Amino acid sequence: MNGLPARATVREVGLRDGLQSIATVLPTERKREWLRDAVAAGQREIEVGSFVPSRLLPQMADTAEVLAYAKTLPGLVASVLVPNLKGAERALEGDADLMILPLSASHAHSLANLRKTPDEVIAELARIRAARDASGRKTLIEGGVGTAFGCTLQGAVEPAEVLRLMQALLDAGADRVSLADTVGYADPLSVSRLFEQALKIAGDRFCCGHFHDTRGLALANVLAAAQLGVTRFDASLAGIGGCPHAPGASGNASTEDLGFMLGAMGIDTGLDMAALLALRAKVAGWLQGEQTNGALWRAGLPKTFRPVTPTAATAH
């Protein structure tokens, strides 16, 4: 098996993509504990929340406070999701290390979800870039192209359109771009084909694959992307999250299963898997009544698994 990277980062999105999709509102103190334990388990990149109006997502109302705490954790790259310029201004105010602007490649999904066309989102990114540059902050800007493999509303999304939008995000001032299979429509072959083109366009500004496990293929899709040398994947502890269009469906790839897969293949993730599983158990306890996912937590690590000790070198 060729092309696998020597190191990879599992970027935690459970505190954002996970928590925003479930009913439980986790108290700020527990989010702090989650962050603290995650960093102790070797996680170095965490999406800590979303700067959306709190009337829309009460789960994210404390994002500024959580971000401020995350900034105190040494070595942590703290990112936030920002839906628009207003959110970006809050991210800059909080000195986030990274802000992620989602764009939906499905025009139908974009209009329904963001009430903007994809090209209007690109114009917003240009305004965000201007605001960032004027602010003097070092906050990086990531353009995340979602529904990149199709969506429940529109059905197919043309790869050419996904790539056009990705190029447009870069042209508008995104520091980097990522691709997301928002609703679990991707398969390993479609991932391989689209990511290969994306890497040609964005080079090392292509930064991350985000795969939902809606139909069980998240880890196989990660494998397909990893074989192209992609080194960063979003995942959610306990696989929390879900799909608003498919009640009961799994959420993101689960952090612990993904960390296990990569680590078992000898890819250095910097994760302390035992500590991560302990955190998984804790968070699942906080979220009782919510659906959690993933398989590793039941079976535990194989006897043959060689633990990887978190090292500063993996905080890349």
Residues catalogued as catalytic: 243
Residue type, position 21, single letter:
S
Q: Which residue has the tokens 């995000």?
A: 169
Least gap, CB of 114 to a copy of itself (angstroms): 20
Beta bridge partners of 177: 143, 206
Q: In 3D, which of 230, 270, 236, 267 has the Cα closest to residue 251?
A: 236
CA torsion angle for 115, 119, 123, 128 (degrees, to 10)? Answer: 70
Q: Does 217 bind a copy of itself (CB under 8 A)?
A: yes
Among 224, 238, 240, 273, binds a copy of itself (CB under 8 A): 224
Part in contact with a copy of itself (CB under 8 A); list of ranges 96-104, 171-179, 212-220, 276-284: 212-220
Structure tokens at 121: 């989102």
C-beta separation of 139 from 100 below 8 A: no
Query: Which of residues 27, 58, 216, 244 is near a copy of itself by CB under 8 A?
Result: 216
Is residue 199 a contact residue for a copy of itself (CB under 8 A)? no
Choosing from 220, 275, 278, 315, the residue that interacts with a copy of itself (CB under 8 A) is 220
Cβ-based neighbours of 12, under 8 Å, separated by 6 or more: 38, 43, 45, 46, 47, 234, 235, 236, 237, 255
Binding of residue 182 to a copy of itself (CB under 8 A): no
* Closest CB 231 distance from a copy of itself, rounded Å: 16
Q: How far is the CB of 56 from a copy of itself (least distance, A)?
A: 24
Q: Which of 227, 231, 269, 314 binds a copy of itself (CB under 8 A)?
A: 227
Per rule CB under 8 A, is residue 138 in the interface with a copy of itself?
no
DSSP code of 76? -
Select the residue interacting with a copy of itself from 161, 188, 197, 201 (CB under 8 A). 188
Which residue has 């404390």 as its token pair?
62
Q: Using the Cα atoms of residue 293, residue 279, residue 275 and residue 312 in order, give the sign of their dihedral.
A: positive
Where on the chain is the footprint of a copy of itself (CB under 8 A)?
Answer: 1, 4, 150, 152, 155-156, 183-185, 187-190, 192-193, 213-217, 219-220, 222-224, 227, 243, 246-250, 254, 257, 260-261, 264-266, 294-296, 298-300, 302-304
